[in-house]
Structure 1
Amino acid sequence: MSNDLISSLSFAASGMEAQAMRLRHVSENIANADTPGYHRKVMSFERAMDTGLVEAGPVKLDRSELVRVYDPGHPLADATGHYDGSNVDLVIEIADAREARRSYEANLRMFDQARQMTQSLFDLLRR
């Protein structure tokens, strides 16, 4: 079987795995949007030098300033009645989730196309 077909399956699978990891972090961010002091998680993608496959980079915390919330009755409130909320913006998280989903679907289509081509090659070889 052609090495290019195997490589395309590997590339597509690595892209799907990386996007699935990204979706996990986005869902964690959304789940913790109301958690005081929570910093959203962000990640990047890296290309493995030896194989060229896509890998999820290290997960980092977004160090942008936390939102100050005024709620004097909250147990974490200071003397002024404020406490640190989270820096999760739901609009950004939803946009990131959509982008990750579309990238995942594109990799899935590429994987499926390579699988179909492999199956066609096997069918030709059987004849």
Structure 2
Amino acid sequence: MSDFSDATKVTASALQAQAGRLRLLSENIANADTPGYRRKTAPFESAAAGGQDLPSVTLGRTKLDRSDLARVHDPGHPLAGPDGFYESSNVDLLIEIADAREAQRSYEANLKMFEQTREMRRGLFDLLRR
């Protein structure tokens, strides 16, 4: 039974990591038009689950993208300087949507693996009951 539990734990950790990634991507998309907003990123990290040699995935520490903020010319904007420019966000919606699609597909693949492990465990129990 240990192999089923291990597979479930690894898959659950991947689901949590992808859910966290989707949360960050959602924040980035929601704040794409917020002046001064910096894109948030977080790397995936490998960790041992429960002090065992069992690999798991976690979402690393959130970092702010330090690339230059976009300068927008809008003299009527309340944050515009004397030259008529203000700093917008550094969020590129195309990149965020592509990353969100990738995270969603990875989440779905991990969920499918979780469901298959559960079905295999149920099948084993059915065999053992006979």
TM-score per shorter chain, which class?
Answer: over 0.9
Residue aligning to 2:41: 42
Consecutive unaligned residues in structure 2, runs of 5 or more: none
- Scaled by the length of structure 1, the TM-score of the pair is 0.96
- Scaled by the length of structure 2, the TM-score of the pair is 0.94
Task: Give the letter aligned to residue 98 of structure 2.
Answer: A
Q: CA deviation at 1:126?
A: 1.2
Distance 2:111 2:11 in 1: 7
Distance 1:59 1:106 in 2: 24
Distance 2:22 2:63 in 1: 15
Aligned residues: 126
Residue aligning to 2:24: 25
Consecutive unaligned residues in structure 1, runs of 5 or more: none
Is 1:53 matched up with 2:56? yes
Residue aligning to 1:110: 113
Q: CA deviation at 1:43?
A: 0.8
Percent identity of the aligned residues? 62
Structure 2 residue corresponding to 1:124, chosen from 110, 123, 127: 127
Residue aligning to 1:9: 8
Distance 2:109 2:21 in 1: 15
- Alpha carbon RMSD of aligned pairs, Å? 0.8
Task: Give the letter aligned to residue 95 of structure 2.
Answer: I
Q: CA deviation at 1:52?
A: 1.5
Distance 2:42 2:106 in 1: 15
Distance 1:3 1:118 in 2: 11
Distance 2:98 2:61 in 1: 21
CA deviation profile, 1:45-72 (whole Å, cap 9, x unmatched): 0011444111010110000000001010
